[in-house]
Amino acid sequence: MPKKQKPYKRLPGKKKNFLGGLNTLWLGADHMLSIDSKRVSEDYKRFYYTDIQSVVTRKTIRGKIQNLFLGLFCGLLTLLAVLIGGSWVIFFGIMAGLFFLILLFNWLLGPTCECHLRTAVQIEKLPSLNRLRSVRKAMARLKPLIEKAQGTLTPEAIEENALKDARQATSPFATSKAPKALRHEHGSFHSILFCLLLAWGLFAVIFISYNHVAVTLLSSAITMATGVFVIIALVKQHESDMKDSVRAITWTTLGFVCIDFFLSYILFFVTMVKHPEAVRNQWELFKAFSSLSPMDSPWLMGIAVFSVVCSFTLGVSGLISLKGFRQGHE
């Protein structure tokens, strides 16, 4: 009995969602299928080869930012393993090796990108094609199918279509919607945000070597202020001409703040469990929380190192990117 041929063949590339979903692309006989799989459902989108007008790819800096963070983590953990010594060497050495492997794997995947497919009625993002290497492999398989369905254009036909489009654009009867002008954003709130991140990192360094109620109070105030200013900065940069790198750093800062709030909540809950007598007295509970020392717990040390690396990296890179953006508008 002859083997039944599969109706679809999967294209290179995949995108894993935060909640465990997966986005993939599949080639069929006359169309390309995009599948967005979630835990309890799947969404399907079909793009017929006869309708595809273009596939636009734009290189992004997401991969470089990821490599920068991973490299800093690896370097800092290696430095801590050398300086602290003792039983901490094994812990920090294993963590540094883990981050190095992740960095190496991310670097081998190649540059990141965004890919959009255009038809006559829509422009659709293709999340699974998020690496340039995957885009090249996918296009090598997709292009022949599109040419087979639509045919190939000669240089004369391309020139004729270009002239036709130019005549239509200059026609008095042609109507086109003017693109919405982007609002200029100077970035004052971004400057405050990135300076707060540097202050955050400074107090995180102090916390590693010296734990006191005053340090915890000031750190909490800076953390809350950072949370407020990151929201304001995101609102300000919406529909503005803000530089893409500054946008990415601001969104990354929001993720860092959320993670830190979550970790702080866990530590505060653990403190309540260890000191049940202080639950009814908020000040005593806060003093018990302030007495925690990273030198006594590898997990607390890991959280403190995470805060130092992320805050300094985001603060410095944000100020540098913002300075370049402002110089370009002078």
Write out the DSSP string of 114-172. Answer: EEEEE-SS-EEE-TT--BHHHHHHHHHHHHHHHHHHH----HHHHHHHHHHHHHHHH-T
Tens of pLDDT, residues 223-266:
889 989 999 998 888 878 888 888 888 888 888 888 888 777 77
pTM: 0.55
Return the pLDDT at 177. Answer: 47
Return the pLDDT at 75. Answer: 78
Q: Is the pLDDT of residue 181 over 70?
A: no
Tokens of 274: 């260890």
**Spatial contact of 216 and 289, defined as CB atoms under 8 Å apart:** yes
Share of the chain above pLDDT 90, in %: 10
Buried/exposed code over 154-188 (b: 16+ C-beta within 10 A; e: otherwise): eeeeeeeeeeeeeeeeeeeeeeeeeeeeeeebebe
Return the pLDDT at 229. Answer: 92
SS3 64: helix
Instruction: With cut-offs at 50, 70 and 90, classify the pLDDT of residue 23.
Output: confident
Q: Is the pLDDT of residue 268 over 80?
A: no
Q: Of 63-67, 85-89, 149-153, 243-247, which gets the smallest average pLDDT?
A: 85-89
Q: Is the pLDDT of residue 169 over 60?
A: no
Return the pLDDT at 281. Answer: 61
Q: What is the mean pLDDT of residues 145-162?
A: 74
Distance (Å, rounded) from C-alpha 66 to C-alpha 103? Answer: 8
Return the pLDDT at 302. Answer: 76
Return the pLDDT at 61. Answer: 81
User: Where is pLDDT greater, at 244 or 328?
Assistant: 244
Instruction: With cut-offs at 50, 70 and 90, classify the pLDDT of residue 280.
Output: low
Q: What is the mean pLDDT of residues 263-273?
A: 69
Distance of alpha carbon 270 from the chain centroid: 30
Return the pLDDT at 87. Answer: 66
Tens of pLDDT, residues 292-325:
666 676 767 777 788 888 889 889 988 988 888 8
What is the residue-averaged pLDDT of the chain? 79
The candidate with the shortest Cα–Cα distance to 229, out of 186, 187, 193, is 193
One-letter amino acid at 329 equals H
Return the pLDDT at 19. Answer: 57
Share of the chain above pLDDT 70, in %: 75
Angle between helices 244-274 and 188-209 (to 10 degrees): 40
Q: Is the pLDDT of residue 176 over 50?
A: no
CA torsion sign for 89, 93, 95, 96 is positive
Distance (Å, rounded) from C-alpha 328 to C-alpha 330? Answer: 6
Return the pLDDT at 97. Answer: 87
Q: Of 28-37, 155-164, 195-204, 260-269, which gets the smallest average pLDDT?
A: 155-164
User: Where is pLDDT greater, at 58 or 291?
Assistant: 58
User: Where is pLDDT greater, at 275 or 160?
Assistant: 160
Tokens of 142: 């997709």
Tokens of 16: 């894993």
Return the pLDDT at 166. Answer: 63
Element (H, E) at 35: strand 31-37
**Spatial contact of 138 and 25, defined as CB atoms under 8 Å apart:** yes
Distance (Å, rounded) from C-alpha 205 to C-alpha 196? Answer: 14
Q: What is the mean pLDDT of residues 101-124?
A: 89
User: Where is pLDDT greater, at 280 or 257?
Assistant: 257
One-letter amino acid at 299 equals W
Q: What phi and psi values does residue 37 have, to the nearest 5 degrees?
A: -90, 130
Return the pLDDT at 191. Answer: 92
